[in-house]
Amino acid sequence: MGLLTFIKDMLSEPAILMGLMAMVGLIALKAPAHKVLTGTLGPILGYLMLAAGADVISGNLDPLAKMIEFGFNIKGVVPNNEAVTSVAQDLLGVETMTILVVGLVFNVLIARFTRYKYVFLTGHHSFFMACLLSAVLGALGFSSWKLILIGGFFLGAWSAISPAIMQKSTLKVTDGDDVAMGHFGSIGYLLASWMGGLVGKNSSSTEDIDVPEKWSFLRNTTISTALTMMAFYLVSAIVAGPEFVSTLSDGKSPFLFALLCGLKFAVGVTIVYSGVRMILADLIPAFQGIATKVIPNAVPAVDCAVFFPYAPTAVIIGFVSSFVGGLIGMFILGLAGSVLIIPGLVPHFFCGATAGVYGNATGGRRGAMLGAFVNGLALAFLPALLMPVLGNLGFGNTTFGDVDFAVIGLVIGKLGEWMGSVGIYVIIAVVIVALVLPSILRPAPYAVNNKPEEE
């Protein structure tokens, strides 16, 4: 149990996973020892910096969520990956960590032997998906080695397929940088990209917004983020009232507390950007070793926050638009008599911002706004649909927050309920065909990280 726990903990740490991948790549390139050392530590430190920034953002979003919930008198369920995972760990801890390990093995094998050349490096999302799969498959009657093997296969397959379905859009976001999307909100980002292409004809990029000279300071991402979030927090604090905000501020002036939260949020975003630059500086060159020696044409699939610096203005537009979509989705659910899914600010920031970046890449400003808005609606409706599935498993009053978890959970859970184990084997067969067919139709090797052809 001690060794399994160590392996599970190590594989659920994206920083360590990125460092190990970079180390393998540098060794494959026969880099000198000092470059292996620095090239391994660079991505680890960069990701820890990214995670520290994300913690600052999440920590300051929590009081904002409470002020909005109290001020507008909203009661319901806030989707939270960590909450549902902590509940599941008490019931399915060993199964989850074993599926995580088997899933990584399947991901590497799929990347090595099929045309899906993506190595998924966002370990905490792999852990969340392993938890979902163990819960849903366990409820359908699978156990022991069947549960682990099937769960690991689904995890490894989606870890390779989800970056692949996003890569055409990702190349537009990054202008050809050799990274892929490794985050289980990919279906939402694909939806945002599609929406951007649909509505964004002749719409200029969010990053080309013409700012008069006297407002040029707004081009500083930290300053513009700080001003936007300070306004957001201050309005929420006024609506919630000083008496309630005082319960969150630990004796500090309620409105000063709100302003400081907005400023700290901006600092968190800046730390994330710095960490991203550090990750990419070392990870991409090191990954050339894996791409040439171990898994030909391999591409690292990395966390969604890595894509924020490509369109910082779209990040804020995406967050606000996604949150508005989540609010409207919540009201629609209320009118329909369904459970209220209160917009979780953490998924709406990270997933909404990323949807804004992808919507901007395909449809400029209109794409960023409407792409993220549609993503926000999905973050309301899909968790509401997933709740009955998880409720049957003993996870009432909590649900996963990101789009892929809901879609995968619904497909496996509903088909399993209708067809039993046969339904699961049908899904496995479909996935195998999807993995193998591209190699049969186009067997010649190709570089997945080329820029997309002009349409």
Instruction: Kindly report the three-state secondary structure assignment for every residue of 22-73.
Output: HHHHHHHCCCCHHHHHHHHHHHHHHHHHHHHHHHHHHHHHHHHHHHHHHHCC
In a domain, 347, yes or no: yes
- pLDDT value of position 213: 64
Look at residue 173 and tell me if it is in a domain: yes
For the chain, the domain total comes to: 1
Q: Which helix or strand (DSSP H or E) is residue 119 part of?
A: strand 118-120
> Is residue 453 domain-resident?
no
Rounded (10°) CA dihedral 196, 197, 200, 202: 150
DSSP 308: G
State residue 229's pLDDT score. 81
Radius of gyration, CA atoms only, the chain:
22
Is the pLDDT reported for residue 453 higher than 80? no
104-115 in b/e burial notation, b at 16+ Cβ within 10 A?
bebbbebbeebb
Determine, yes or no, domain membership for 455: no
Range among 223-227, 313-317, 398-402 rated most confident: 313-317
Q: Is a pLDDT exceeding 90 seen at residue 149?
A: yes
Q: Which residue has the higher pLDDT, 89 or 138?
A: 138
The pLDDT-based confidence of 447 (bands split at 50, 70, 90) is: very low
Q: How far apart are CA 399 and CA 45, in angstroms?
A: 31
Residue 49 domain-assigned?
yes
In a domain, 447, yes or no: no
In a domain, 145, yes or no: yes
How many residues in total does the chain contain? 455
- Give the largest CA-CA distance in the chain: 67
Residue 451 inside a domain? The answer is no
Residue bearing the bigger pLDDT, 262 or 290 = 262
Exposed/middle/buried for residue 143 (C-beta within 10 Å: 0-12, 13-18, 19+)? exposed
| pLDDT tops 60 at residue 394 | no
- Lowest mean pLDDT segment, chosen from 103-107, 260-264, 281-285, 435-439: 281-285
Residue predicted with more confidence, 446 or 45: 45
For residue 388, give every residue at least 6 positions away whose Cβ sits within 8 Å of its Cβ, in sequence order, or none: none
pLDDT tens digits, 337-393: 777 787 877 788 889 999 999 999 999 999 999 999 999 999 999 988 887 776 665
Residue-wise pLDDT tens digits, 50-79: 778 878 887 887 788 788 778 877 666 767
Residues 155-165 have pLDDT tens digits of 999 999 999 99
Note whether 428 and 419 are within 8 A (CB): no
Q: Which domain holds residue 347?
A: 2-441
- Across the range 35-47, mean pLDDT stands at 88
If you search the block for the tokens 């065909």, which residue do you land on? 433
Q: How do residues 359-375 score in pLDDT, each as one tens digit?
A: 999 999 999 999 999 99
How far apart (Å, rounded) are the C-alpha atoms in residues 301 and 400?
A: 21
Place of tokens 């905000």: 245
pLDDT more than 90, % of the chain = 28
